[in-house]
Amino acid sequence: MEIRENPDVKKLFDDYPGAMRQNMLRLRQLILDTASETDGKGHLEETLKWGEPSYVTKGGSTLRIDWKPSKPDHYAMYFHCQSKLIDTFRQLYGGTFAFDGNRAILFEESDDLPVEELAHCIALTLTYHKRKHLPLLGA
């Protein structure tokens, strides 16, 4: 699998404050690892969208991650709000994740990431357009 990295994204990660930088890098690595293990997604492109680290594949939906200074103890993984992604994640993992409407999974700085569940959400996102017609995205 080819990963097209972006130096502007690396600079943004370098600018995150210490502990949050580690959390954001952990999310990034989980995205990269999951993409490398997910069939049918082609290459992964890392880019900036709305000033946020973003990841997209052909046949997938854009996945963004970010930390905001206005909520210094929180960070999030964002999804296209008009997709079925968050509704599906809520049905599958409603007791595992905190959600922000139909657009994000929220994390607190001290959270232990539920890696297996989050990787599943990432894989569904990276292959979304091939799955969107399936109940629960074929999960």
* Each residue's pLDDT expressed in tens, for the chain with a length of 139 residues: 677 888 899 999 999 998 899 999 999 999 999 998 887 656 889 999 999 999 998 889 999 999 999 999 999 999 998 889 999 999 999 999 999 999 999 999 988 899 999 999 999 999 998 888 878 877 7
Structure-block tokens of residue 51: 């000033």
What are the angstrom distances between the C-alpha of 82 and each of 7, 10, 52, 119? Answer: 29, 28, 19, 21
Hey, what amino acid is at 100? Answer: D
